[in-house]
Amino acid sequence: MVFLTNQVLEYSELDFSISTHAYGSMFFLMTGFHGLHVAGGILFMAAVVGLVSGRSEAPPAPPVSVCGYYWHFVDVVWVVMFATLYLLQ
């Protein structure tokens, strides 16, 4: 949730928009999709917490593992995006 809050604050402080130039378009596209994946991951984690807390008869190990793999994927994508958008700017 801190990441999503920071993303909204960053969007409000930028001196360009999605239609200013190609960098602006790619910046909003890439960070927006990443934000959606983070929001989806938070919902996924909430579902896994519900599963693990005993509200389901399903075994918890596979969903917990998949959730871990999902967050590792999101982290790796963020490292590449950070390098592309912020370091190569």
Measured CA to CA, the distance from residue 85 to residue 70 in angstroms comes to 22
Q: Cα Rg for the chain, rounded, in angstroms?
A: 16
pLDDT of residue 89: 63
Greater confidence (55 vs 16) lies with 16
pTM of the model: 0.78
CATH code for position 81: 1.20.120.80
Number of domains in the chain: 1
C-alpha separations of 7 from 48, 49, 51, 65 in Å: 25, 25, 29, 27
Confidence of residue 43 (pLDDT cuts 50, 70, 90): very high
Q: Is the pLDDT of residue 4 over 90?
A: yes
For 50, the domain range is 2-87
Confidence of residue 14 (pLDDT cuts 50, 70, 90): very high
- Over the chain, what is the mean pLDDT? 89
